[in-house]
Amino acid sequence: MSQVTTTDLYEVTMALSYLREDMRGRAAFSLFVRDLPPGRGFLVAAGLEPALDYLSRFRVGRSDVQDFADTLRRPVGDLEPLHGLSFDGEVRAVPEGRIVLAGEPLLEVTAPLPQAQLVETYLLSLLCHQTAVASKAARCVLAAAGRPLVDFSLRRTHGPEAGGQAARLCALVGFAGTSNVAAARRYGIAAAGTMAHAYVEAFGSEERAFRAFARTHPGPVALLVDTYDTDRGVATAARVFKDLRLGPGCGIRLDSGDLGALARRARTVLDGAGLEEVRIIASGGLDEYGVDRLVREGAPIDAYAVGTKVGTAADAPYLDMAYKLVEYDGRPVMKLSSAKATAPGPKQVFRGPGFRDVVGLAHEDPPGDAEPLLRTVMRGGLRTEPPDTPAAARERFERDLAALPEEARRIERPVPPVPAVSPRLTALTTLVRHRIETRTGAGRTAAG
């Protein structure tokens, strides 16, 4: 199935109508999140790299036209104006890894109207999901307070492709590894894993299972100790480590129960056996809330494996993300719908020290010592620079996270910064609103 046809039907019908009406003027669309989900003090911009890959390959082929015609149950000739349509527009965007706030554009597309319209759904799908997951993973990094994190999400994500995206996004914000072999290979992430309870059950004895696993994998191993009785499992693991002279780099994994209490008892057993270097790894339904609680309790856990709740961004699985027309053929436009009004014109986000952000017009000069966040990443349908790297995105994230106000970093009850609006954007919004209300009577209708 072509990526071109992975879209909402109304994108096709609108694009076709634009072409038939010869509405090919340049249109600017702004993609942004209206409001942060509850419990979020910030978002991490993500999904731009696959979005640019999609736009650079976008072209409506013969088979796409046929699929559109079949779907609409119309003669293929009716859809012929779409044939050959490709993306040759400009994209300005916030680079992956930057921290962003509600109301700030993550990406702006400027292209002939039919093109800019037809790519809407795919772009929203990419950036909405990936920004949500990256933001959840970033909060886990905060909660872990420097302890390594490993992505275990593949088996619970909403499909294998989403699992690969989750692994990349977790690495982008600082995770140390992933259980996902394909993602590890594709993105250069360290692969990590232990064993399943089924492995232990198959041997009938924990000790037989542990010794067999260590024989097959002579390097550092991590043994899963809670298949039956966790305390006995820890003692058995310690005996195997001692007998086989396994130590540095090895670990035990706790996957259920009171992880804090179990970790304390396990640490006592391991230290008593002279295995101070053996690490304790915790997993089992964890996300930033669970990790934060264990860290604050002082649990002697050296690393955390997080999966389901992070790979699905379980407590905030979607963002109120929109892609709205802000200018057509040189004319600024806006939406006046109640609670969903938009601001007109292409925009820029100016970031001052301490996340004193200002949303202004694209061609404004930065206020004071603020830096512009959106940069031109595509022109004429081509990338303006080589593909970004996860390492570069991670550096940007770490720099932004260090500068983020403490109240926005909190795991419980965070308070996000609120960007200001520049005087020039405010003035343009007032002017365009007045023009629309004068022309349509919208203001009088709302008042009545």
For the chain, domain boundaries: 3-132+319-447, 134-311
Q: What is the DSSP string of 53-82?
A: HHHHH-B--HHHHHHHHHHHTS-GGGGGGG
How far is residue 55's CA from residue 30's CA, in Å, rounded to a whole number? 16
Task: Read off the pTM.
Answer: 0.94
Tell me, what's the pLDDT at 84?
Answer: 96
Tell me, what's the pLDDT at 369?
Answer: 87
130-160 core/surface letters (b: 16 or more CB in 10 A; e: else):
bbbbbbbbbbbbbbbeebbbbbbbbebbeee
Closest CA to 80 of 36, 122, 19: 19
What rounded mean pLDDT belongs to the chain? Answer: 95
Quickly state the pLDDT bin for 4 (edges 50, 70, 90).
Answer: very high
Segment among 69-83, 235-249, 281-295, 349-363 with least mean pLDDT = 235-249
CATH number of the domain at 3-132+319-447, please? 3.20.140.10
pLDDT tens track for 344-353: 999 999 999 9
How far is residue 183's CA from residue 168's CA, in Å, rounded to a whole number? 7
**How many alpha carbons lie under 13 Å from residue 196 in its C-beta half-sphere?**
6
How far is residue 115's CA from residue 381's CA, in Å, rounded to a whole number? 11
Tell me, what's the pLDDT at 444?
Answer: 54
pLDDT tens track for 72-82: 999 999 999 99
> Domain 134-311 classified CATH 1.10.1370.30?
no
